[in-house]
Amino acid sequence: MDPVRIGTRGSKLALTQAGQVQRMIAAALGADPAEVERVAPLVVISTTGDRVQDRALTELGGKSMFTKEIEEALLAGRIDCAVHSLKDAPIARQPGLVLAATPEREDPRDAYLSPAYATLADLPRGARLGTASLRRASQALHRRADLSIVLVRGNVDTRLRKLEAGEAEAMLLALAGLKRLGLADRIRHALDPVEYPPAPGQGALGIETREADAGAPWVRALDHAETALAVAAERGALETLEGSCRTAVGAYAAISGGRLTLVVEALTPDGRERFRRHGEIAATDRVAARALGLALGAQIHAEGGDRLMAPP
């Protein structure tokens, strides 16, 4: 068969993640490991979100700045699938495209890093906390209103260099990315995902294809049922709560004993107000999982309203 061309961003983390998917696709196609590059070549695509590093995503147009150019390549037939970090992938798809598979998830939690301070509570008054995430900033300010939030964008290595250079006393990053890059030893500790719900879909990858290719055997082989259930619930909440970088939304779904539990929270941008809901269903159906997320998100939206939205 023809090669399956994989579209990806060009950062070290994106290439690492795409490489994992590349090997999975090659295996699903029955290819010899030595043939991986031929049967599933990577196609690096530069996105607006990667090129512009000096502004918050809210100023650039939100999460679509990491996916727009890749989706255009998919629609044009220059690639056959795309690998996205689901925490960075918007809910809306361009017509003709579908989120076709979700491989098994890495650890969804946030990681706290600091050269000198063991926990968020140990930071001195007025300390600088580095993050590019409105959610992480709002969650931190909810507990420590005295903190100074420093916008830190760029790839993982860039952010770690800024921390080492003293541009912030501490930093919050996705634990999954640090693990995938072999940097778990830099972590002080992982945040409790119930107390600090991560971004919906954090730690999971999404495989996007054209609608006509979604049922291909190699696509189905990438899908991990439990991950897909959890992600459906979390992204259902995101869908209701506007789902852009202008809302501080966290969601965490866990599956145990045949049950799916979901905690959803949204905060005002300054962290002063926090709205939370919990729910539980049988872990059997993605439609029901999404419906649970939609329902909990709607309850929070009804309570928080426009107060949840950061200014453009």
CATH number at residue 162: 3.40.190.10
- 126-156 core/surface letters (b: 16 or more CB in 10 A; e: else): ebbbbbbbbbbbbbbbbebeebebbebbebb
CA distances from 144 to 111, 150, 268, 310 (A): 17, 14, 14, 19
pLDDT band at 68 (very low <50, low <70, confident <90, very high): confident
Domain count for the chain, please give it: 1
Asked whether residue 140 is domain-assigned, the answer is yes
Segment 87-137, tens digit of pLDDT: 988 888 889 999 999 999 999 999 999 999 999 999 999 999 999 899 999
Q: Is 150 helix (H, G, I), strand (E, B) or coil?
A: strand
Segment 6-35, tens digit of pLDDT: 999 989 999 999 999 999 999 999 999 899
pTM here is 0.92
Asked whether residue 52 is domain-assigned, the answer is no
Asked whether residue 294 is domain-assigned, the answer is no
Choose the catalytic residue: 2, 54, 80, 88. Answer: 88
Which pLDDT belongs to residue 244?
59
Asked whether residue 81 is domain-assigned, the answer is no
Asked whether residue 172 is domain-assigned, the answer is yes
User: For residue 205, what are the β-bridge partners?
Assistant: 85
Percent of the chain's residues with pLDDT above 90:
83
Asked whether residue 49 is domain-assigned, the answer is no
Whole-angstrom distance, CA of residue 161 vs CA of residue 263: 33
Whole-angstrom distance, CA of residue 193 vs CA of residue 198: 6
Q: What is the DSSP string of 224-292?
A: -HHHHHHHHHHHHHHHHT--STTBEEEEEEEEETTEEEEEEEEE-TTSS-EEEEEEEEETT-HHHHHHH
Which pLDDT belongs to residue 88?
86
Which pLDDT belongs to residue 289?
98
* Residue 139, domain extent: 110-190
Q: How far apart are the first and last CA of the chain?
A: 47
Asked whether residue 228 is domain-assigned, the answer is no
88 labelled catalytic: yes
Averaged pLDDT for residues 128-155: 94
Asked whether residue 137 is domain-assigned, the answer is yes
Contact present, 83 and 6 (Cβ < 8 Å): yes
Is the per-residue pLDDT at 247 higher than 80?
A: yes
Whole-angstrom distance, CA of residue 70 vs CA of residue 17: 15
